[in-house]
Amino acid sequence: MDLMEFQGKDVFRAHGIPTTPQGQIATTAEEAHRLATEYGAPVMVKAQVLTGGRGKAGGVTYCPDAAAAKEAAEAILGLDIKGHVVHKVLVEKASDIAEEYYLSLLHDRVSKGYLAICSVEGGVEIEEVNRTQPEKVAKVTIDPTAGMTDELANQILDSGAMPAETRDQQVDLLKTLYDGFVAADATLFEINPLIKTTDGRIIALDSKVSIDDNALFRQPEIESLEGPVPPGEMGDDLEAKAKEQDLQYVKLDGDIGIMGNGAGLVMSTLDVVAQAGGEAANFLDAGGGATAESMAGGIAFVLGDPAVKVMMINIFGGITRCDDVANGVLGALDMLGDVTQKLVVRLDGNSADEGRRILEESGHPNLVSASGMIEAAEKAVALAKEA
């Protein structure tokens, strides 16, 4: 379960992690004006969506007075940030920033433990820093049986080239962050930026928090956050709609719709699309026992995303028969009618020959067949670039 910034900061506060003074949510410009008047200028008005890049998209604004806060909220509410429509903004007192850093804790499947990532280069896209200046991004494995000791905390902070003058605060924050991360059953605690204020305090200016869905029964306060929020306001609209339809769907930022049967196969499909130079628009797992009906529903859902230029369907037939999949693909196209996107279909496994025969003999102009996964990805990427 991914949390918005204001929810993540509430989790931080609950576990004693220093962050910004408590702000409040506004859903109208008038509410933002009232809150800014109440807090006293200056304030920050920040879009609450489950995606990064809010600042570059105009979703984060410094406001020197209440009138500016109202104007900022008017501009941000309704804004589309990477397919995420802004329904609410966080209004909080602005902080005086002296320096910006990066710090995160996450699950590490390689070491089967936790990983700390630390960098003195905060406040920017850490992925870009990692690509261009990897020596400035420290990645240190944490042994869960040993936990976060003073020695390990200093090792992490030294590796990230963090400044020495506020080291005691940094160590305390990192140890508190680790304790909160474990207690909250989190899979990610990210602070970008972690800041030093002009009066020398180290606090989390932002939050990115993900909680293990399988442990939500131990986190009733966090689990209850989702309920009161109307569909379409808890993260991406498409993800909310997918959840209503019991689809295993995640919205991404690219233009190639992805559908497969089984999470592992879909993840591999994302990789080969990236290797072919493309970018996935989503992750949709049709499940190991996909039927013609479920395939049709999934295809209709993916093609309903206006960002999708091409769809790649990658099926390995096991329990799922590929001839059923082929009939599902054709049924979906009949149901949808005026489809403009091309569908690159790769079938393998149970009844794959029969499935490919059905698709080929249909002569449908939107269908493109591929015999292998890499070939399918390359065709999908090429078609997306032409579209």
CB-facing half-sphere around the CA of 56: CA atoms within 13 A: 7
Structure tokens at 358: 């059905």
What percent of the chain has pLDDT above 70?
95
Within 8 A by CB and 6+ apart from 209, the residues are 2, 3, 7, 8, 11, 12, 184, 186, 188, 189, 190
CA distances from 149 to 14, 139, 159, 165, 177 (A): 21, 16, 15, 20, 12
CA distances from 67 to 47, 87, 132 (A): 17, 20, 40
Within 8 A by CB and 6+ apart from 135, the residues are none
pLDDT at residue 234 is higher than 50: no
For residue 7, the Cα-to-chain-centroid distance in whole angstroms is: 15
pLDDT band of residue 288 (cuts 50, 70, 90) is: low
Q: What is the mean pLDDT of residues 180-209?
A: 96
pLDDT band of residue 290 (cuts 50, 70, 90) is: low
Q: What is the mean pLDDT of residues 140-164?
A: 95
Name the residue with tokens 């109202």.
Answer: 70
> Residue 368 forms beta bridges with which residues?
344
Confidence at residue 296, expressed as pLDDT on a 0 to 100 scale: 77
| Residue 116 to residue 139: CA distance in whole angstroms | 6
DSSP 62-91: EESSHHHHHHHHHHHTT-EETTEE---EEE
pLDDT band of residue 230 (cuts 50, 70, 90) is: very low
| Residue 55 to residue 64: CA distance in whole angstroms | 17
Q: What is the mean pLDDT of residues 195-201?
A: 96
Among candidate residues 326, 349, 368, the one with its CA nearest the CA of residue 262: 349
pLDDT band of residue 229 (cuts 50, 70, 90) is: very low
Q: Is residue 93 within 8 Å of residue 62, measured between CB atoms?
A: no
Confidence at residue 232, expressed as pLDDT on a 0 to 100 scale: 44
Residue-wise pLDDT for 367-377, tens only, equals 998 889 999 99
Average pLDDT of the chain is 89
Among candidate residues 359, 361, 238, the one with its CA nearest the CA of residue 302: 238
Confidence at residue 131, expressed as pLDDT on a 0 to 100 scale: 80
pLDDT at residue 245 is higher than 60: yes
End-to-end Cα, the chain, rounded Å: 34
| Residue 188 to residue 105: CA distance in whole angstroms | 6
| Residue 56 to residue 73: CA distance in whole angstroms | 16
Dihedrals φ, ψ of 59, to 5°? -95, 0
Residues labelled as active-site residues? 102, 190
Of 1-10, 227-236, 262-271, 275-284, the range with the lowest mean pLDDT is 227-236
| Residue 353 to residue 347: CA distance in whole angstroms | 8
Return the exposure string of 266-301: e unless at least 16 CB atoms fall within 10 Å of the residue's CB, then b. bebbbebbeebebebbbbbbbbeebbbebbbbbbbb
Instruction: Give pTM, 2 decimals.
Output: 0.67
| Residue 7 to residue 235: CA distance in whole angstroms | 12
Confidence at residue 336, expressed as pLDDT on a 0 to 100 scale: 81
Residue-wise pLDDT for 97-108, tens only, equals 999 999 999 998
Q: How many CB atoms lie within 10 A of CB 324?
A: 22
Q: DSSP character for 317?
A: E
Q: What is the mean pLDDT of residues 128-150?
A: 90
Among candidate residues 231, 211, 233, the one with its CA nearest the CA of residue 221: 211
Confidence at residue 268, expressed as pLDDT on a 0 to 100 scale: 93
Residue-wise pLDDT for 46-97, tens only, equals 999 888 788 888 999 999 999 999 999 999 999 988 777 899 999 999 999 9
DSSP E strands, the chain: 2-3, 24-26, 43-47, 60-63, 80-81, 84-85, 89-93, 97-108, 113-119, 138-142, 186-197, 202-204, 208-211, 248-251, 256-260, 282-285, 310-317, 342-349, 367-370
pLDDT band of residue 113 (cuts 50, 70, 90) is: confident
Q: What is the mean pLDDT of residues 133-145?
A: 91
3-state secondary structure of 305: coil
